[in-house]
Amino acid sequence: MKAVQVPEAHNMQIIDQELPKIQNSDEVLVKVKRVGICGSDMHIYHGTNPLATYPRVVGHEVAGEVVKVGSSVETLEIGDHVVIEPINYCGECYACRKGRPNVCEKLSVFGVHEDGGMREFIVLPEKQLHAVDKELAWDETVLAEPYTIGAQAVWRGGVEKGDTVLIQGCGPIGICILKLAKVAGAIVYMTDLSEERMAFAKESGADEVINAGTESVKERVLELTSNEGVNVVIDAVCLPATVELSIDLVSPAGNVVILGFDERPSAIPQLPITKKEITIVGSRLQTNQFGKVVSLLNSGKLTSGGLITHKFSLDEVQEAFTFVENNPDKVRKALIVFE
């Protein structure tokens, strides 16, 4: 079978691998149908993902069809359409015992620490696979994983009906957060530098969009919230300046959610944190969000709505990564199609 491997930074190749085999009774063989190209895949390709190891078969946004099941598999059968939960965890460390396996001390992420889904077939344990409605188009199904990132950020921010939420960044993850925040019943404002991305955010349900390059985000947010500030700020840009702005714009008793991996420090004074009693949290991957997201997909309450802009075949994978790299304002989500 064919697989897309990044042997080292700035190098990509299509290699031949043996078809994987079920070795344990709880495992499932899946024929891959779609793989989304994520920002983290691009970072692995560029050598800027501090957590990745090489060589690596990339891809963690994966949808496929079950073609074989192990003898103890109970929830899946041949022909089921599934999405991949891309985390493997120990179940014993403090984080796991607290119900937060996404930050397990021995966490292994599919496509980052171990070979991922950008190959024709994969074998994974039953617990990492979630069945979806077979009537859903593959292009809709494959978005489950990025939606769980949005669901996690909304959960970490404690977003409730009627809350005001500011999402910094109108990229693909920002849009996924927007969709889940609207499902929760929030009023959502978004910022970006790209007029095209902001226009799509408005089409996708944002109540207001703010161009951070041409107007004062602080002044506009205070105007929209009658000087209170927003109840939740979710930073999907995650530069030192946007983290600092998050603290400034959140309301008293509000929550700030940070998704980034930037290692540069932010200059944050203690006074507003204490004075407003702000809660500041990180959000990484997802915890138990797949069930909710699959239900929303199956019911039609979550739809792509133009989020997918480009599709490439497996043989065009180098072209796909180059196009995504060179056209950030044109690409919302690109897929590799396996047929």
- CA-closest candidate to residue 248, choices 268, 263, 220, 266: 268
Q: Flag whether pLDDT at 261 surpasses 90.
A: no
Q: Flag whether pLDDT at 50 surpasses 90.
A: no
Q: Are residues 14 and 100 in the same domain?
A: yes
Q: Is 290 helix (H, G, I), strand (E, B) or coil?
A: helix
Q: Are residues 138 and 163 in the same domain?
A: no
- The domain that holds 50 is classified in CATH as 3.90.180.10
Q: Is residue 218 part of a domain?
A: yes
| Structural domain containing residue 226 | 149-282
* pLDDT tier at 252, thresholds 50, 70, 90: very high
- Asked if 134 and 81 touch (Cβ cutoff 8 Å), the reply is yes
Would you state the pLDDT for residue 5? Answer: 97
Region 191-204: what's the mean pLDDT?
A: 97
Q: Is residue 290 part of a domain?
A: no
Would you state the pLDDT for residue 333? Answer: 97
Q: Are residues 100 and 218 in the same domain?
A: no
Q: Are residues 269 and 308 in the same domain?
A: no
Q: Are residues 228 and 131 in the same domain?
A: no
Q: Are residues 213 and 273 in the same domain?
A: yes
Q: Are residues 170 and 200 in the same domain?
A: yes
Q: Are residues 69 and 175 in the same domain?
A: no
3-state helix, strand, coil in the chain (%, to 5): 30, 30, 40
Q: Are residues 168 and 254 in the same domain?
A: yes
Phi-psi region at 249: left, alpha or beta (left = phi > 0; alpha = psi -120 to 50): alpha
Q: Is residue 288 part of a domain?
A: no
Q: Are residues 188 and 205 in the same domain?
A: yes
Q: Is residue 299 part of a domain?
A: no
Q: Is residue 136 part of a domain?
A: yes
pLDDT tens digit sequence for 69-127: 999 999 999 999 999 999 999 999 999 999 999 999 999 999 999 999 999 999 999 99
Q: Are residues 8 and 134 in the same domain?
A: yes
Q: Is residue 132 part of a domain?
A: yes
DSSP count for the chain of H helices, then E strands? 11, 18
Would you state the pLDDT for residue 49? Answer: 85
Percent of the chain with pLDDT over 90: 95
Would you state the pLDDT for residue 328? Answer: 87
Q: Flag whether pLDDT at 51 surpasses 90.
A: no
Q: Are residues 49 and 155 in the same domain?
A: no
Would you state the pLDDT for residue 185? Answer: 98
Summary mean pLDDT of the chain: 97
Does this model's pTM top 0.85? My answer is yes
Q: What total of structural domains would you count in the chain?
A: 2
Phi-psi region at 133: left, alpha or beta (left = phi > 0; alpha = psi -120 to 50): beta
- The domain that holds 223 is classified in CATH as 3.40.50.720
Q: Is residue 291 part of a domain?
A: no
